[in-house]
Amino acid sequence: MQLELVDTEWQMVEPFVTASEVTTCITVVTVTLEQAGRRGRAETLGADYLGETATTIKSAIEVVRKQIETGLTRDQLQELLPPGGARNGLDCALWDLEAKRSGHRVWDLLGMGMQPVHTVFTLALGDVDTMAAKARACKNMPHLKLKLNGVDVADKVSAIRKARPNARIMIDANGSWSPRLLEALGDVLASNKIELLEQPLAMGNDEPLRGLRYPVPLCADESCQSSADLERVADSYDAINIKLDKCGGLTDALKILAWCKNHGKQVMVGNMLGSSLAMAPAMIIAQQAAFVDLDGPLWQTRDSQPAIRYAGSLMQLPERELWG
């Protein structure tokens, strides 16, 4: 097996602003595995809040290059590398390679049906008027995700709800709220029909949520990296955001999905930004997710090819040449 690692830079159409950072471009690693004339590809970004970069991801993969090129299974990979960007790139490339070698789509190998899915569209953090105006402007997106910090939350939520009375709305605080602010906003969020609140408190500060009966379902993002974290956060969250860049690929994502189904947790599938090549394997998890957040390519000035086709919020299935 031959391994190739290539950096690609994707520019954002405008700054992607959250409570924790401002992103104008990203550098991803495209992992290609070639064997017997077949090539499997994947794109990985990792979790920047854990210090992952294209450089660290490539370095982690280079350490295990020999094991990879002598022939590595996905099960062996789970033991060889920890969750994160390096394992994600290799895992999803191995899935793609198996599909190419077998002549079957990945979802057929898994015995799953696949349908187009609707993604949320993310509104970057801004002031009240700017966020409300953007909500009005994207009326072809029926499900919105609001990036919010702890400033003017009630005003922003109310203004966006007024601008889009029929939209499904969720919030991502990226760990920027305090327990006191969380408590104070409960009734506001409920009255504005917010469907999900993602990562309200900082990573590692989940204890105030344990056993909390909040009026809006709470979703773990940074607080749940991989399947190894599920039992620890089980009593604090109603939903889990599955991101392949966090958990280390489709293999572990499927484990998280199965656990959530067995434990009555809602599933969200998300992205760390990235092109259609990064979104494609996550669409498998999206088939059984209550919340789909795979709008990364819509934030880029260009995309990998062949790109996933978006008709408003509706994502078509990835072509065989792209992935899987």
Catalytic residues: 147, 243
Three-state SS letters, the chain: CEEEEEEEEEEEEEEEECCCCEEEEEEEEEEEEEECCEEEEEEECCCHHHCCCHHHHHHHHHHCHHHHHCCCCHHHHHHHCCCCHHHHHHHHHHHHHHHHHHCCCHHHHCCCCCCCEECCEEECCCCHHHHHHHHHHCCCCCEEEEECCCCCHHHHHHHHHHHCCCCEEEEECCCCCCHHHHHHHHHHHHHCCEEEEECCCCCCCCHHHCCCCCCCCEEECCCCCCHHHHHHHCCCCCEEEECHHHHCCHHHHHHHHHHHHHCCCEEEECCCCCCHHHHHHHHHHHCCCCEECCCHHHHECCCCCCCCCEECCEECCCCCCCCC
